[in-house]
Amino acid sequence: MNDSLILEVADLEVDVLTGIYSEETGKPQPLRITIQARYDIADRYDPDTPLEASKNYMDLKFAASEGLPKDVHFKLIEAVADHICESLFVQDKRVQAITVKIIKLAIAEANEKIGITMHRERPAD
């Protein structure tokens, strides 16, 4: 069995320019984003293990918030998820796989969760 470590940032609410319908375009809409990143694990984590032996979970939060371009309109939330995945793969070669779940909050009528989950493995070099 291969060991791995999964970092997660869950339920981050971010306003993003996205949508294809006229009522969605031109203004940001709220998305709830959860990211899981699986990456190479250290042989051991001692009490004094430095952060460099892990992945800073703030990198995940940044990729789904300030790391998203504010002046780009993403027609599909799939494109938002792709942008997050690419950002994290570029940031750290230890990241093996990323799962991004995006819920479109503005279209819920009865607190249902409407959205997508995208899983990407690191592309082969």
CA-CA distance, 9 to 1, in Å (whole number)? Answer: 25
Cα(104)–Cα(84) distance, rounded to whole angstroms?
16
Structure confidence at residue 61 (pLDDT) = 95
pLDDT (average), residues 3-24: 90
Measured distance CA(19)–CA(52) in Å, rounded: 38
Average pLDDT over residues 103-113: 89
* Cα 13 from Cα 11, distance rounded (Å): 6
Q: For residue 7, what are its two tokens?
A: 């970092």
Q: What is the pLDDT of residues 38-75, one digit of tens each?
A: 988 888 889 998 888 887 889 999 999 999 999 999 99
**8 A C-beta contact, residue 3 and residue 94:** no
Q: What is the pLDDT of residue 51?
A: 83
Is pLDDT above 60 for 102? yes
Burial grade of 66 (CB within 10 A; 0-12, 13-18, 19 or more): exposed
Which pLDDT value is given to residue 1?
Answer: 53
Which of the pair, 52 or 24, is modelled with greater confidence? 52
pLDDT for 21: 78
CATH number for the region 5-121 comes to: 3.30.1130.10
